[in-house]
Structures are given as structure tokens and as C-alpha cells.
Amino acid sequence: MNYPFEKIRDIRKFRKDMSERKLNTEKAVLAKADQILFDKERQLSNHKQQRAQKEKTLYGAITEKPLSFSEFNHFQQHLDYMREIEHDHIQQVQKAEKKKQNAETKVIEALHVFNLRHKENIKIDEHRLEWIKAAVKEEDLKLENEMDEIAQVSDSFKKNE
């Protein structure tokens, strides 16, 4: 009693397993992207705190004494440099956010594919169960018919004796 669609069932099971692996891979990529975003946001936050402290220190130094033009230019360049670094951190956070969004999209797509594969498996498993029930019923009918034939033959032998 071999299920005629067993090979198709095997293929569907394989596809489901592959889609599950893909889903797990995409979830891992998302977790990594989430961690990178967290790290980049923390770096930005740390830089903002350091920048505020450094600017406070620099402004304090400026207000205490008169500055030459070159010292003022140096001070201005230092502030510009810290702003550039902050801008770079902001861009890194934005890139990390985009990567996380892409990873989330891929997880959703992989989940959708996995759900489709899972439904396909359920359908063929249900069909297989129905087929097995029908096959068992058919076997029971055959056995009943054979038993009836044996009973008829045995009755005819009893009558002939």
C-alpha cells in the first residue's frame, strides 16, 4: 500500500525545510542588523555627549582669555571637525536603519514562503490520510468479500454432504 504521491510529498517536505532554513538565515541577518544599528546609535549618543563636554571645555577656555586669530581658527576647525564626525555617525545610523529595514523585509518574505510551503505540506498530508483511510476501507471490503465467499463455499460443502 504505497501512497502514489509520496515523491511529491518528499519534494514538498524538502521545499519546506529549505524555506525554514532560509527564514532562520534571514532572522539571523536581521538580528545582526539590529545589533549593528544599536551599536551605531550608541556610538552617536556617546559622540554627542563627548562633543558637548569638549565644546563646554573649549568655550570655557575661550572666555577666559583673549584669542589670536590663529587660535580662533584652530578653535573653529576643531568644532567643525567634531560636527563632521557627528554627521558621519548620523549617516552610519541611517545606513544601519536601511539595512535593518531590508533585513525585516526579507524576513517577512521568507516567512511568507515558509507559510506557503507549510500549507502545501498540510494539504498533501491530509490527502495522504484520506488516501490511507480509503485504502484501509477497500482492504476491509475485500476481506469481507473473501470471508463471504469462504462462508458460501463452506455452506455448499455442508449441503453436499
Residue in this structure with the C-alpha cell 533585513, named with its chain if needed = 103
Nearest to 22 by CA among 113, 121, 120: 113
The pLDDT assigned to 9 comes to 95
Q: Are 107 and 27 in contact (CB under 8 A)?
A: yes
Buried/exposed 130-140: b ≥16 CB within 10 Å, e otherwise: eeeeeeeeeee
User: What is the C-alpha to C-alpha distance for residues 126 and 158, in angstroms, rounded to an integer?
Assistant: 48
- pTM of the complete model beyond 0.85: no
User: What is the C-alpha to C-alpha distance for residues 67 and 112, in angstroms, rounded to an integer?
Assistant: 65
Angle at the Cα of 23 (from 17 to 24), degrees rounded to 5? 90
Would the CA dihedral through 76, 82, 86, 89 be positive or negative? Answer: positive
The pLDDT assigned to 75 comes to 83
Q: CA-based Rg of the chain, rounded to a whole angstrom?
A: 38
Per-residue confidence of the chain (161 residues) as pLDDT tens digits? 789 999 999 999 999 999 999 999 999 999 999 999 999 999 999 999 999 998 888 888 777 778 788 888 888 898 899 999 999 999 999 999 999 999 999 999 999 999 999 999 999 999 999 999 999 999 999 999 989 888 887 777 677 66
The pLDDT assigned to 161 comes to 62
The pLDDT assigned to 67 comes to 74
Residue in this structure with the C-alpha cell 577656555, named with its chain if needed = 61
